[in-house]
Structure 1
Amino acid sequence: MSDKKYEMDMCSGTLFPKIIAFAFPLAVSGILQLLFNAADIVVVGRFVGKEALAAVGSTTAFINFIINLFMGLSVGAGVVVANCYGAGEKEALKESVHTAVMLSFVGGISLTVLGLLVSRPILSAMGNPPDVLDLSVLYIRIYFLSIPGLLFYNFGSAILRAAGDTKRPMYFLFVSGVLNVFLNIFFVVVMGLGVDGVAYATGISQYLSGFLILYTLVRSDSDYKLILKEIKMYKYPTIKILKIGIPAGFQGMVFSLSNMLIQSSVNSFGSTAMAGNAAAQNVEGFVYVSMTAVYQTAMNFVSQNFGAHKFDRIKKIHFETLVLVFITGIVGGWAVYILCDKILLLYTANDKVISVAKLRLSVILTTYALCGAMDVMSGILRGLGHSSLPMVVSFLGACVFRVVWVLTVFTFVKRTLMALYISYPLSWAITFIIHTICYYFIIDYYKDKKF
């Protein structure tokens, strides 16, 4: 079957239906991923125990911090490929694809080694209590062995999405996710393993999704076809990917660093608070990934149209994706919050854990549209080729603000979980406003520039 069936021309035609057609499979992919991650949490919480649930949840911020640099490079790869695709530059497109795959291989091996070496000292420094630390280290070391598969999937998906194909990454995620659920049940319920069983299930499923993506690229009949013997880092696309991807990755690391600080503060309240926080993060993730789909859509659409120098269309993309993300965040956030009592019972029957989870959700879900709007503006700036700008803004608006908040308001004024969680919406609002101001300056500059 021809790859053209899956591709999309983002530079012409009615815009909003194409935005929806692109974003919907992305949202479904994200929700599927969370459902499968939720299966990890549910199986651990129901069949292993509170400490195991806390152990898995407490590793999230650290895992994200470690892998975010190369996740940022996958974003850079997607922007560069989309730019080449929109401009019709076939040779540059070919070199960008092969460079991206080589970067995913190098990144996968590097992160696996790094994660195995530093996991225990970092988790210990984050204040994991003794009844959780050993379980956290066991889980995370097995998880890091699966990082190459994760990066193959993310870089490969970025290539397909740059050409408008969001469907096949969704199909592959579904297949690997179903396998993950079955392996969770088999390893934990049937074989009696604990957090190690969940980690094994995750690793196997991530390698499957990575294989399916790479197989699709190798078998492709499109300009982004992957030829194994030509995989290497070409100079020009490597520079462009690094120029966009390193700031994008650093931005993700900045958010993860601030989240690690908040996670450490949560850890100081004990394993019950840690378990409640972990369950809440998983629940709110269903809204977050739906908004992230709009962010990825905005970035890819802007990038293709930037390559084609269609700035009036970029202005429409800006407006329509912002409207869409606000609707998604407000409707989705409040709907999940209203239903959170029933949803949380799937994760745990512990009343104290549920109480902590509801407290976090009451702050995050009711203001989540601000987070989505912040991300969309970041994606638009990145699609315009300005990746360092949202990195700097996010560093100030997210990391610095949250660190100052934790070290002042939380530490000296009111040491409660509510005081901790309120820093999230405040940082989103600050960062969104600054991103928006930057966008208007940049779009006015390009509008008058001769190409």
Structure 2
Amino acid sequence: METDMTRGNPLPIILKFTLPLLMGNIFQQLYNMADTIIVGRFVGPDALAAVGSTGTIMFLVIGFSQGMSTGFTVLTSQRFGAGDENGAKRSVANGIILSSFVIVLMTVISLSFMRTLLRVMNTPGNIFEDAYTYISIICMGIVANVFYNLFSSYLRSVGNSRIPLLFLMFSASLNVVLDLIFIINFKMGVAGAAWATNLSQGISAILCICYIYKKVPVLTPKRNHWKLNASDTTRQLSVGIPMALQFGITASGTIIMQSAVNLFGSAAVAAYTAANKFQGLVLQGMVAMGQTMATYSGQNYGKGDIGRIRHGVRLVLWTEVVYSILSSVIVCLVLPYALRLFFSGDVDITEMLPWAKTYIYLCAVFYIPLGFIFIFRNTMQGCGYGLLPMLGGVVELAARLITAGFAIRLLSFPLACACDPAAWLSAGVFTTLSYVYIMKKVEKSRENKGLV
């Protein structure tokens, strides 16, 4: 079920590959939404706020680990596009070994400093212990999360986006069932939600491993491949480290934003959490399109067809503009109804709605530059360039830091909510200019080598 993205009309190929990714991303979001909805309805709004207050930390820890391991798969995509099967197998084994080191390191670091981080983030006292319990258990499951994303990324690197979707659909459904059992039957509270997530993602990882071993020989290393290769390690780290830092830097900015939101109490945190989860679900099309462009550009870069990369990007940008406009309309119209999913009937939604509307209405205006970030960033990373995408994360961090600083100083909730739009607009401009620069650099390099 591998897909060669170096031939044929780009847009149909890209959209066909994106659809399973979109569905997979939606189910991935349902992991977290199931936690927040079930916790909010069956444990209470304070428990929902506790889970929501750790979302940015979760993005930091898990995102950093995922960014590193996902970066390792770019080399596999390039070698598959170039027809180098032995090199692809070697890169798979090398990536697994490197990811194992990342898992151990991130697990130890995250568990060691979690309480300190929660205090720095101004986590409200009435939700502190629940927040610590939830995020600590999530960090214990970094191994499941990283290996699922690593192996599903390996499958996508050779053009297979359907199988990860099927496994994710199964495990997302399992996550909901386990949430209900652990939270309602076993009365485990937020701990039950965290363990349900870890177990479900662990099963996804195992299913991916079994499928690769039996059905995808190009991704199945042989015994002689299971050792660190100096050249592969250098190339994988050169992409993986910037991708991890990009996630880490972006997450640091969202942590600063969460710190500003936390100042307004658990009701504001709960409303913001629900609105953010709903928005994240609607925007998964952007994420999926970006993931597709990483594979598309990786394969075509490996083949040396830079013109095809440019053509594909132009087509996808117009698709993203249309998607962004539709998403803006949807989130604004559906928000009042979506918010009710997260709270039981005894919670006054009219108290939550003004907080949620402030965040969503500000964000909806800036979906187009956010879409550009996903397209350009993933395209550059697929071509093996990680530094400028990482610096785009630095721009996001700076924008959020400045906006959050004013929000905290002025005690302004709208300014706290504006952290995301400020980051998207500034990083969108920076990433667009970076893409133009990188493409010119790639074409000039190939001209100098006489490859054009």
The TM-score normalised by the length of structure 2 is: 0.94
CA contact (8 A) 1:299 1:380 kept: yes
Q: How far did 1:383 drift? A: 1.9
Pick one of 61, 68, 74 that aligns with 1:73. Answer: 68
Q: What is the correspondence of 1:229-268 to structure 2 with a 5 Å cutoff?
A: 230-268=225-263
1:289, 1:192 → 2: CA distance? 32
2:138, 2:407 → 1: CA distance? 32
1:341, 1:126 → 2: CA distance? 28
CA distance 1:231–1:289, change in 2 (3 Å): farther
Q: How far did 1:168 drift? A: 0.6
Name the residue aligned to 1:406: 404
CA distance 1:341–1:435, change in 2 (3 Å): same
Q: For residues 7-33 of structure 1, give each alpha carbon's deviation from its aligned partner in whole angstroms, at most 9, with x where no partner exists.
A: 111101111110001111111001111
Q: How far did 1:227 drift? A: 4.6
CA distance 1:221–1:370, change in 2 (3 Å): closer
Name the residue aligned to 1:3: none
Q: How far did 1:69 drift? A: 2.5
Q: Counterpart of 1:171 in 2: which secondary structure?
A: helix
Name the residue aligned to 1:434: 430
Report the AA paired with residue 331 of structure 2.
V
Q: How far did 1:440 drift? A: 2.1
Q: How far did 1:111 drift? A: 2.2
Q: How far did 1:229 drift? A: 7.9
1:294, 1:386 → 2: CA distance? 18
Name the residue aligned to 1:308: 303
Q: What is the correspondence of 1:158-307 to structure 2 with a 5 Å cutoff?
A: 158-227=153-222, 230-307=225-302
Long gaps (5+) in structure 1: 1-5
Pick one of 435, 440, 445 that aligns with 1:444. Answer: 440
1:7, 1:239 → 2: CA distance? 27
- How high is the sequence identity, in percent, across the aligned residues? 29
CA contact (8 A) 1:77 1:158 kept: no
Q: Counterpart of 1:73 in 2: which secondary structure?
A: helix
Q: How far did 1:226 drift? A: 4.1
Q: For residues 371-415 of structure 1, give each alpha carbon's deviation from its aligned partner in whole angstroms, at most 9, with x where no partner exists.
A: 1111211111212222101211330x21112212222x3244x43
Q: How far did 1:35 drift? A: 2.0
Q: For residues 99-143 of structure 1, give each alpha carbon's deviation from its aligned partner in whole angstroms, at most 9, with x where no partner exists.
A: 122223222233222222211111122111111111111111111
Pick one of 7, 12, 30 that aligns with 2:7. Answer: 12
2:161, 2:424 → 1: CA distance? 27
Between the two proteins, the alignment pairs up a number of residues equal to 443
2:423, 2:135 → 1: CA distance? 29
Q: Counterpart of 1:345 in 2: which secondary structure?
A: helix
Q: For residues 352-375 of structure 1, give each alpha carbon's deviation from its aligned partner in whole angstroms, at most 9, with x where no partner exists.
A: 223312221111234222211112
Q: What is the correspondence of 1:31-430 to structure 2 with a 5 Å cutoff?
A: 31-227=26-222, 230-348=225-343, 349-351=347-349, 352-395=351-394, 397-407=395-405, 409-412=406-409, 414-430=410-426
CA distance 1:424–1:102, change in 2 (3 Å): same
Report the AA paired with residue 398 of structure 1.
E
C-alpha RMSD of the superposition? 1.6
CA distance 1:135–1:219, change in 2 (3 Å): same
CA contact (8 A) 1:295 1:379 kept: yes
Report the AA paired with residue 268 of structure 1.
L
2:357, 2:429 → 1: CA distance? 28
Q: Counterpart of 2:215 in 1: which secondary structure?
A: coil
Q: Counterpart of 2:218 in 1: which secondary structure?
A: coil
Q: How far did 1:429 drift? A: 1.9
CA contact (8 A) 1:337 1:366 kept: no
CA contact (8 A) 2:243 2:390 kept: yes
Q: How far did 1:231 drift? A: 3.6
1:78, 1:289 → 2: CA distance? 21
